Amino acid sequence: MRPLERSEALRLLGSVSLGRVVFTRYALPAVRPVNHVLDGEDILVRVHDGGALAALAAPAGTPGVVVAYEADEIDPVTHLGWSVVVTGYARSVDDADDLVPAPVEHLPVPWVGLDAPHLVRIRPDLVTGFLLEGDADA
């Protein structure tokens, strides 16, 4: 297992579109799978009204809600691949200017059958990751 530098971890995170957001619900940890895209180093995800992730919409003027975001790509046979965890603040995207430089056509696609009109930005504070490499002597 080899640790990844921040830039490499974010590059790998940007190479996949599915991850898991970890947040607090009723004072307990909760996890939900979501689609994502990167906007620079920030992670953009869509949420729908009334769902558990709607709690990520932090009030204006606050730094946001503390969350973790994890994505990986690990081969089920060889157990080789990578995993990245981002810890940071999530807040609603309320203004189109807040989407620069991400053009609208590059925003995450909502899950099939769900109307997810709200966009949440996760701004990373801590980015960690590791690469699961094969044994060179094997």
Q: In terms of pLDDT, which residue wins out, 63 or 106? A: 63
The pLDDT, as a whole number, for residue 39 is 87
- Which strand (E) or helix (H) includes residue 98? none
Distance from chain centroid for Cα 53 = 12
Tens digit of each residue's pLDDT (9 = 90 or more) over 95-130:
654 555 444 445 555 555 555 557 888 999 999 999
Percent of the chain with pLDDT over 90: 48
Phi, psi dihedral angles at 79 (to 5 degrees): 65, 25
Q: Which residues, at least 6 apart from 33, have a Cβ–Cβ distance to it below 8 Å? A: 18, 19, 20
Query: Is the CA virtual torsion 65, 84, 21, 120 positive or negative?
Result: positive
Question: Is 67 domain-assigned?
Answer: yes
Distance from chain centroid for Cα 128 = 13
The pLDDT, as a whole number, for residue 23 is 92
Percent of the chain with pLDDT over 70: 75
CATH number at residue 54: 2.30.110.10
Tens digit of each residue's pLDDT (9 = 90 or more) over 24-61:
888 899 999 988 989 889 998 887 666 777 777 666 67
Residues in the chain: 138
Tens digit of each residue's pLDDT (9 = 90 or more) over 77-89:
999 999 999 999 9
Q: Which residues, at least 6 apart from 133, have a Cβ–Cβ distance to it below 8 Å? A: 1, 2, 80
Question: Is 54 domain-assigned?
Answer: yes
Q: How confident is the model at residue 74 (pLDDT cuts 50, 70, 90)?
A: very high
List the domain range (segments joined by +) for residue 128. Answer: 2-132
The pLDDT, as a whole number, for residue 109 is 58
Question: Is 138 domain-assigned?
Answer: no
The pLDDT, as a whole number, for residue 59 is 64
The pLDDT, as a whole number, for residue 107 is 59
Count: domains in the chain? 1
Question: Is 137 domain-assigned?
Answer: no
